[in-house]
Amino acid sequence: MIFHGKPVPSKLQIAQGLVILFFTLLSADPAQAQPAFKQQIQNLPNPLKDSRSFVYDGAGLLGNRKADIDSLAKAMYEAGGAQIVVVTLESIGDASIEEFAVELFSHWGIGEKEKDNGILVLHVSGARQIRIEVGYGLEGVLPDAKASWITGDVAIPFFKDGDFTSGHYYLMQSLLRVLLNPRASRAQIVEIKETIEPGTRINPDQIPEQSYLSSTEERAERKKREEDKQSGPEWMSISLMAPGYIPGLWMLFGIIRRFGGLRDSDLDGKEKYDTIDDAILEYSGAPLLLNVGIIATEIGFVGSFWSAILLPLFVGGGWIWQESHLKKFRQAPRKCSRCNNKMRKLSEEDDDAYLEKGQVAEENAGTVDYDVWVCDCGNVRIERYKSPGSQEPCPSCNYYTYELSETRTVREPDYNSAGKGEKIYACSFCDYTRTEPFEIQRLKREDETVSGIATGLAGAAITAALYEVRHGSHSYSGSDSYSGSGSGGESFDIPDDFGGGESGGGGATDEY
């Protein structure tokens, strides 16, 4: 007789998909899973480390004032004051300038770790926006209102006239006035004048002590509140343990019970194979759910080390056990249903003589594998095993010989509209075909793509490097407040503990 066995549904694919999804969610590298703007920040060269500068002019807006602005920032830093970093970019993609500024501030660690006395001036030319991001320790000296005065009354009027160079230069001068005199009035802050000439030294005695109060205790308390908020209350961890452990253990006991029953059953190899194969969701679900319980336990009680160890052991062990038994049951001798003698399994070359043409086509396509068992009494048994990668059957002949054969473009996309394409599905057995239309994403201009951003940044980096080679850098000497001469940047040493500052989102944003 011909025995096809029970067709195996795509449970294996479902289980594998669940496990892959779980692994992805559990062990995904945040650096790889992060939004595009965070990847852009990761790729930005840090001028403080790479070129010993406080300025990164990625958009090329600062011109001959770049060195002057950098000189003023270095003077403030060397006097023990705030760390001011100026960054210009052409684009930040779809991110808001506020979230980009906070992330960049944190990534570079602008400001001293125990003082949070950093300031970031971020100018995005494509969006026509500028942002002053203020570190925690300076929010009392430079509150949002004062930051807004500086952007709105000083920088924006210059920007509207296309004079970005002067706008940034006098913005820096205004920042220095606030930092040196926290009680300055609005009129004093926004006055267009030079408080400090580039290349001069700021006397450390001029830095008000009350300007940069240590925020270590406040930061520790704030971080504790954030961690408590993210981790959730302990009862939440306990409440997640039951939905993990209970169904996980139930599935685990089901596996043991199912396998224990198979050992003493009268089922033949194919029937045992189907029984184990049908339980694939249990073999995958049990370790997954048990691990949910373990992770929930970790949140409240232990570290994260064990989840990384136990999940691969659970899932991998379950798969290895199942695959070994599937192979064992598939190769186990079959008894003839007619004479009760042992049957013999034919080779792949010999079994084609007993298969239908469509079945041979399925084997050639690699979607289904057939085992043919024959007995000396003339009885024939055909067993069907679907490949895990099997697609849907052909709508015409119902054999698994139907797949995507061609993808073609009907209309090319352009910068204004999407294109059109077609996917051609064909059956290799009955020649049935089906055409499925799809849309091709429109082309993006250079300023819309990450590659465009990368190109602009690379060009700016080369320009900056050439500028440093031609003009050298600066250092400062002298003993009086605003006296001294320009000097070579070799004396400007960034200490090993530089950075570590944080921003709480304070500051101001303006458009022009």
Q: Give per-residue pLDDT as tens, 127-164.
A: 999 999 998 888 888 999 999 999 999 999 999 999 99
pLDDT of residue 225: 58
- DSSP classification of residue 393: P
- The dotted CATH code for 58-227+449-492 is 3.10.310.50
pLDDT of residue 275: 63
pLDDT of residue 287: 55
Q: Could you give the CA distance from residue 329 to residue 273 in angstroms, rounded to a whole number?
A: 5
Q: Is the pLDDT of residue 8 over 50?
A: no
Question: Residues of the chain with pLDDT > 70: what percent?
Answer: 60
Among 98-102, 221-225, 430-434, 475-479, the least confident range: 475-479
Under the banding of pLDDT at 50, 70 and 90, the label for residue 343 is very high
- What average pLDDT does range 47-66 have in this prediction? 90
Q: Could you give the CA distance from residue 316 to residue 302 in angstroms, rounded to a whole number?
A: 23
Q: Could you give the CA distance from residue 357 to residue 373 in angstroms, rounded to a whole number?
A: 18
Q: Could you give the CA distance from residue 106 to residue 219 in angstroms, rounded to a whole number?
A: 14
Q: Is the pLDDT of residue 495 over 60?
A: no
pLDDT of residue 328: 82
Q: Could you give the CA distance from residue 19 to residue 16 in angstroms, rounded to a whole number?
A: 5
Question: Which one is predicted more confidently, 301 or 503?
Answer: 503
Q: Phi then psi for 118, rounded to 5 degrees?
A: -100, 155
Q: Is the pLDDT of residue 499 over 80?
A: no
pLDDT of residue 186: 94
Question: Which one is predicted more confidently, 465 or 277?
Answer: 277
For residue range 282-295, what is the model confidence (pLDDT) as tens digits? 455 555 555 555 55
Among 87-96, 132-141, 292-301, 437-446, the least confident range: 292-301
Q: Is the pLDDT of residue 487 over 70?
A: no
Question: Which one is predicted more confidently, 176 or 224?
Answer: 176
Nearest to 512 by CA among 153, 251, 73: 153
Query: Is residue 488 helix, strand or coil?
Result: coil
What stretch of H or E contains 380? strand 380-386
Residue 202 burial by CB count (10 A; 0-12/13-18/19+): exposed, middle or buried? buried
For residue range 189-242, what is the model confidence (pLDDT) as tens digits? 999 999 899 989 988 888 776 455 444 455 456 556 555 555 544 444 444 444
pLDDT of residue 290: 52
Q: Is the pLDDT of residue 61 over 70?
A: yes
CA atoms within 13 A on the CB side of 342: 5
Contact between 18 and 288 (Cβ < 8 Å): yes
Q: Is the pLDDT of residue 27 over 70?
A: no
Question: Which one is predicted more confidently, 261 or 62?
Answer: 62
pLDDT of residue 203: 86
Q: Beta strand 83-89 with 118-124: parallel, antiparallel or unpaired?
A: parallel
Contact between 434 and 392 (Cβ < 8 Å): no
CA angle, 158 then 159 then 164, to 5°: 90
pLDDT of residue 354: 95
pLDDT of residue 131: 97
Residues 6+ apart with CB under 8 A from 170: 154, 155, 158, 192
Contact between 273 and 369 (Cβ < 8 Å): no
pLDDT of residue 278: 55
Q: Is the pLDDT of residue 397 over 50?
A: yes
